[in-house]
C-alpha cells in the first residue's frame, strides 16, 4: 500500500509532522482513528455507497477522439472527474474525511479554502452528514470568489473571512490550524490535498485512489492493455496521486505530473514547486516549495486558482527523486490554449487546472505516435472559470 514510515516520511525524506506540540496529539488521535477505519470494511462500504449514490461514481472513461487530430497520433483518454457531484475530484476526499469525522465522534468540521472549491466540497459533505462546518477563507478570496462563498452558505456552512497577512490561502490555513489547536476535542480538520503533516498526505491519497483503481480497470477492459502514459495536473497533488496510485506498481506505465508554470519557470511568476522550488518545510511537512534564498515562502502565480500554491505534497517530492514520476509544467498561455481546444473539439469546458494536464497530453500524443495510449485525469469542469476567462480575453 506504499505507506510512509512510522514517522510519516515517504522514502525516508519527505513528509513528517512539523507542528506545534498541541497538534501532535491531535495528529496521533487522527492516525489512530484513520487506522481503525481503514481496517474496517463497514467504513469502506459506507464510503463506496456515498461515492456511488451521492457523487455519481464510477466516473466514465472517455476517448477524446478529436483533441489531437494528426493521423498516427496516440489515443487520448479522459478520466471524467469533472462529472462528479460538485464538479471535481475534491469530493472523493471530503466524503472520506467526513465519514471519518463522524466515526471519531467529532461534532464540528473545519476547513480552509483558497478559491473555494475545497470549501464547497467540505460544506457539501457536512450538509449530507449533518455535521456543522466552519470554513476559513482569506478576505481577498472571499471577495474574489463570492459565488463559492454563497454556495457554501447555501449548504449551511459558516464562512470566516480572514483579514490577517495577505488575506489569502496562506493566512486562512494559519487560522484553521489555530482553530484546530484551540478546539482539538470536538473539531475535525479536513485538508483538501495530499499536503500537511502526516497522516494527511497518506490519508487523502487513499481517499483519491479510487480514481486510479477505476481508471486502470476501465482501460484494461476497453483496450485490453494498460495506458502507456498517465497525466495529471499538480497543485497540492491530490488528483495526481489519486490516479497515479492505480498504476504505481505498473512500472512500464509512465507517470506525468504537470505543474503550473504561470508566466514561465524563468519569469519567477510561477507555481511550479517541483520544477522551480527547493526543499523546505511548509504547512507541517518537508517537501519542495517556492521560497526565497532566506527561506521565506514566495508569492506564486498561476492562471488557475487551484494550482496557485507554493508547496506540493511530500509523496510527489519522493516520486520525483526516485524517478518513478516525471514533473513537467505548462504556462498560463499553454493551459488557456488547451482549455479552448478541449471545449471546441471535445465538447467539454475543462477546469483551468485540468487544462494544464491537457496541454502536456497533447504534446505526448503527438510524440508517441500510434503505439501510445495516454490517460489524462480531467480533474474538474470549467464552469467556475468562465467569468475569469471571459474577462481575460476581453482585455
Ligand X SMILES: *Cc1c(COP(=O)(O)O)cnc(C)c1O
Site string for ligand X, 241-280 (x = CB under 6 A): ----------------------------------------
How far apart (Å, rounded) are the C-alpha atoms in residues 240 and 258? Answer: 9
Give the nearer residue to ligand X in terms of CB position, either 117 or 300: 117
Could you say whether residue 239 binds ligand X (CB under 6 A)? yes
Query: Phi-psi region for residue 11, left (φ > 0), alpha (ψ -120 to 50) or beta?
Result: left
CB-wise, 234 or 359, nearer to ligand X?
Answer: 234
| Catalytic hit among 75, 90, 106, 384 | 90
**Span 43-102, contacts to ligand X by CB under 6 A:** 88, 90
362 binds ligand X (CB under 6 A): no
Q: Catalytic residue at 90?
A: yes
Query: Any catalytic annotation for residue 75?
Result: no
75 SS3 class: strand
Cell numbers at 15, concatenated: 513528509
Q: Is 374 in the site for ligand X (CB under 6 A)?
A: no
Q: Is 117 in the site for ligand X (CB under 6 A)?
A: yes
Say whether 106 is catalytic: no
Among 245, 300, 354, 362, binds ligand X (CB under 6 A): 354
Whether the upstream peptide bond of residue 58 has omega within 30° of 0, thus cis, is yes
CA–CA dist 192, 273 (Å, integer): 18
CB atoms under 10 Å from CB of 147, counted, come to 13
How far is Cα 196 from Cα 182, in angstroms, rounded to an integer? Answer: 18
Q: Is 291 in the site for ligand X (CB under 6 A)?
A: no
Stretch that binds ligand X, among 14-22, 34-42, 53-61, 234-242 (CB under 6 A): 234-242
Q: Per-residue DSSP letters for 264-322?
A: -TTTS----HHHH-EEEEETTEEEEE-B-TTSPBPP---SSGGG--SB--HHHHHHHHH
Question: Which of 312, 55, 98, 313 is CA-nearest to residue 190?
Answer: 98
Which of 234, 261, 348, 376 binds ligand X (CB under 6 A)? It is 234
Residue 227 interacts with ligand X (CB under 6 A): yes or no? no
Residues contributing to the site for ligand X (CB under 6 A):
88, 90, 117, 193, 233-239, 306-307, 351, 353-354, 379-380
Q: Mind telling me the catalytic residues?
A: 90, 112, 379
Amino acid at each position: 500500500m506504499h505507506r510512509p514510515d512510522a514517522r510519516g516520511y515517504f522514502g525516508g525524506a519527505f513528509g513528517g509532522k512539523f507542528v506545534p506540540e498541541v497538534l501532535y496529539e491531535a495528529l496521533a488521535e487522527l492516525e489512530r482513528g484513520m487506522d481503525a477505519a481503514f481496517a474496517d470494511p463497514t467504513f469502506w462500504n459506507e464510503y463506496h455507497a456515498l461515492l456511488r449514490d451521492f457523487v455519481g461514481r464510477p466516473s466514465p472513461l472517455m476517448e477524446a477522439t478529436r483533441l489531437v487530430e494528426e493521423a498516427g497520433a496516440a489515443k487520448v483518454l479522459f478520466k471524467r472527474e469533472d462529472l462528479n457531484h460538485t464538479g471535481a475530484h475534491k469530493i472523493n476526499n471530503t466524503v472520506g474525511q467526513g465519514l471519518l469525522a463522524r466515526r471519531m465522534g467529532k461534532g464540528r468540521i473545519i476547513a480552509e479554502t483558497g478559491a473555494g472549491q475545497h470549501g464547497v466540497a467540505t460544506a457539501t459533505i457536512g450538509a449530507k452528514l449533518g455535521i456543522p462546518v466552519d470554513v476559513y477563507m482569506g478576505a481577498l478570496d472571499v471577495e474574489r470568489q463570492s459565488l463559492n462563498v454563497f454556495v457554501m452558505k447555501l449548504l449551511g456552512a459558516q464562512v470566516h473571512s480572514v483579514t490577517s497577512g495577505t488575506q489569502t490561502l496562506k493566512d486562512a490555513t494559519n487560522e484553521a490550524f489555530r482553530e484546530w489547536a484551540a478546539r482539538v476535542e470536538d473539531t475535525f480538520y479536513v485538508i483538501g490535498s495530499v499536503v500537511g503533516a502526516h497522516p494527511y498526505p497518506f490519508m487523502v491519497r487513499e481517499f483519491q485512489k479510487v480514481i486510479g483503481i477505476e481508471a486502470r480497470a476501465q482501460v484494461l477492459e476497453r483496450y485490453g492493455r494498460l495506458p502507456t502514459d498517465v497525466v495529471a495536473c499538480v497543485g497540492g497533488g491530490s488528483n495526481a496521486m489519486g490516479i497515479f496510485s492505480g498504476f504505481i506498481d505498473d512500472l512500464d506505465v509512465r507517470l506525468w505530473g504537470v505543474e503550473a508554470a504561470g508566466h514561465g519557470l524563468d519569469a519567477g511568476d510561477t507555481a511550479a514547486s517541483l520544477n522551480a522550488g527547493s526543499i523546505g518545510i511548509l504547512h507541517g511537512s518537508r517537501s519542495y516549495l517556492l521560497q526565497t534564498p532566506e527561506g521565506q515562502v514566495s508569492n506564486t502565480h498561476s492562471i488557475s486558482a487551484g494550482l496557485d500554491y507554493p508547496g506540493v505534497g511530500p509523496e510527489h517530492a519522493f516520486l520525483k527523486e526516485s524517478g518513478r514520476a516525471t514533473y513537467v509544467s505548462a504556462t498560463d498561455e499553454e493551459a488557456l490554449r488547451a482549455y479552448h481546444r478541449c471545449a471546441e473539439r471535445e465538447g467539454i469546458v475543462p477546469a483551468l487546472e485540468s487544462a494544464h494536464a491537457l496541454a502536456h497530453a497533447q504534446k505526448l500524443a503527438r510524440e508517441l505516435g500510434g503505439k501510445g495510449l495516454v490517460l489524462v485525469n480531467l480533474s474538474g469542469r470549467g464552469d467556475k472559470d468562465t467569468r475569469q476567462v471571459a474577462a481575460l480575453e476581453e482585455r
